[in-house]
Structure 1
């Protein structure tokens, strides 16, 4: 039997075991802002790794204050001079503690539900079982370095340098974020998170209208300038997510601010939007504007090495089930950081489903084994087999 057929049959035969591990991960709640729960989730995730794969050959846990720790666990490959592949995933979720009581883990009508099941605890389970499949079938495999973090939903403020260092000597990086239907995410937008603060001059709106300079009015002008700069044909979107300001109906506002989300497909658009942000103005010179924030994630744009990696995974998927869709999406992930360094990376190696960050979050149960098999087969091919 062809190696990829053997892998697919094995992962299908072990679907119940994968669901058992997925349930274990989902029922260990891990909101991004709850350090005790994150620590407990990291403990259990490491325990799961060792139970399914044995003690890592090299491991480090990077302790973090306030946010989730970073786990690095490396398993030496089998074969002639095995290459290194880094597998990245996050165990934190957007769901607050107690959500599990409202949305318990369940498998019903072919869907697996529970907080964080799609984004991205199914991917974590699949990554473990992909390597387990190769070991169980005694197939060639690369050295696999897991880099697992607990702050991705916050933009990976602490784990980014560990991810960058953990991928620098790898021939490829596979990110276990959820996929889309039978596809893998080969491109993601860059994300800018900014705040514009307007400072005006307070005055009585009726008695002294000319003595005041409204921060709210100035900010309204800024909103128009920002939304006019969006260019969806070039892949650039601008969203004003929140506006606040003023103190009372009859007071000319002395302060106002807005929270901005900008998505871009390439660096040139990021630079253009930097120019827009630097040039924001209010027509009343007494209103001053301050822009704060940063480009939280650079664009993930596949280069030649990234396209070659996608072709390899596509060939594996085609042999197992069918050609992969090459997906380019607006959301960001830790894959953005790897791609920005010019390193080959694929994102969306995890589950098929829907509802990330939504109460209808779910995973398609029947797809779990085949997507696990694609990850395992990609590791096999990266080992040179």
Structure 2
């Protein structure tokens, strides 16, 4: 497994570089074929290369989901080389999530039969899965379970909840005027933006875990001109579909405050939430298997970040996320994996898939 990890990590695969992702897909395909005894189908969407292994003649019961792209640019190996020292593995993308991908290969290879299993490995997760979302949702629909090999949370915790993500751009149009000679003739887009930012930030609900955060802001052209236009971005995270829709409705109902100003709301929900109700039963099933295997009790948590597990849960498929590597430092200089956790987590994954396939 460590040798396979070195092969994957040393093949750099930044999401935005389609040629690099294609090269990585070839490496992933070769390793997967060696483990699983079957070549994948290539699914190239908008130039991005995804891979799919499907086993059995009938519909899939279990979807195993991983991605092979990373946030690390080409050349990162020069400053962040693949290395294993003192039980810690390091390298760009090792934690998020090439270790999880290797775990998937070896967990599936240990099963006596793969009938009813699909393994989908996408190439654009770090971009928000723009080209793979439809593929993920189609593969997940009708499955008994989706198992997501994203890295675990702190101390190996599985992720039973992920907030839904919505992205917006608020565009404001005013009217320019000379700021010194006749500012009263202008319609100040910066002031309108300030009103809207305060109103939008107030839509958050801390008690329900809903965050509504205005982020990047631009407005105006020169120091002595009343701004004629401006825009800002809004990041929304919500634990439930109801909250996600509440904020969406409120944002699209916004009205300008300044006379003659106009506002335009672009965007909307990007990922539905992974709600606990979609994960709890699978978590309890995995917990019993961990006990039977003599593993420590499982841990669980809720996180704000999204994954492709949001999409599988969004189509009604029970989903368990965070089954991959134990470690930390995703997207950061300290990205690392605890080597001693790789085999036990893989054994648990094998047992969980087998149990799901045997369950009527």
Could you state the TM-score of these two structures normalised by the residue count of structure 1?
0.88
Q: 1:162 aligns with which of 127, 135, 139?
A: 135
Checking the alignment, whether the CA contact within 8 Å between 1:192 and 1:262 is kept in structure 2 is: yes
Match of 1:257, SS state, is strand
Q: Distance in 2 between matches of 1:318 and 1:244?
A: 54
- Partner in structure 2 of residue 64 of structure 1: 45
Give the drift of 1:144. 2.1
> What SS does structure 1 have at the residue aligned with 2:307?
coil
> Which residue does 2:287 correspond to in 1?
314
TM-superposed deviation, 1:60: 2.2
Give the root-mean-square deviation of aligned CA atoms: 1.9
Q: Is the Cα–Cα contact under 8 Å of residues 82 and 383 in structure 1 kept in the other structure?
A: no
Report the 3-state secondary structure (helix = DSSP H, G, I; strand = E; otherwise coil) of the residue aligned with 2:340. helix
* Equivalent residue for 1:120, pick from 97, 104, 128: 97
Q: Are 1:25 and 2:8 matched, yes or no? A: yes
**Count of matched residue pairs:** 357
Q: Which residue of 2 aligns with 1:352?
A: 326
Q: Are 1:92 and 2:69 an aligned pair?
A: yes
After superposition, give the CA deviation of every residue in 1:126-174 in whole Å (9 maximum; x if it has no partner).
Answer: 111111233xxxx465532111111111111111111112122422111
Q: Equivalents in 2 of 1:27, 1:260: separation in Å?
A: 36
Cα deviation code 1:276-302 (max 9, x no counterpart): 212323321222111111211001114
> Pick from 325, 340, 344: which aligns with 1:366?
340
TM normalised by structure 2 equals 0.94
Q: Aligned partners of 2:285, 2:201: CA distance in 1, in Å?
A: 40
> Of the candidates 148, 152, 162, which is equivalent to residue 179 of structure 1?
152
SS in 2 for 1:240: strand
The answer to whether the 8 A contact 1:87-1:145 is kept is yes
Q: Matched residues in 1 for 2:88 and 2:260: separation?
A: 57
- Shift of residue 307 of structure 1? 2.5
Is residue 185 of structure 2 the alignment partner of residue 211 of structure 1?
yes
Counterparts of 1:355 and 1:156 in 2: how far apart (Å)?
Answer: 21
Q: Which runs of 5+ in 2 are unaligned?
A: none
Give the Cα separation in 2 of the matches to 1:268 and 1:85: 28
In 2, the alpha carbon distance for the partners of 1:31 and 1:107 equals 22
Which residue in the other structure is 1:39 paired with? 22
Structure 1 SS opposite 2:183: coil
Partners in 1 of 2:59 and 2:257 — Cα distance? 63
1:107 aligns with 2:84: yes
- Per mean C-alpha deviation after superposition, the further-off stretch among 193-202 and 353-362 is 353-362
Residue 110 of structure 2 aligns to a residue in which SS?
Answer: helix
- Structure 1 gaps of 5+ residues are 1-17
After superposition, give the CA deviation of every residue in 1:37-77 in whole Å (9 maximum; x if it has no partner). Answer: 01000111010001122124xx42112233x2221112349
For the structure 1 residues 251 and 152, does the alpha-carbon distance in structure 2 shift closer, same or farther, using more than 3 Å as the test?
A: same
Distance in 1, Cα, partners of 2:81 & 2:144: 39
Are the counterparts in 1 of residues 141 and 316 from structure 2 also a CA contact under 8 Å? no
Q: Secondary structure in 2 aligned to 1:252?
A: coil
Which residue does 2:33 correspond to in 1?
50
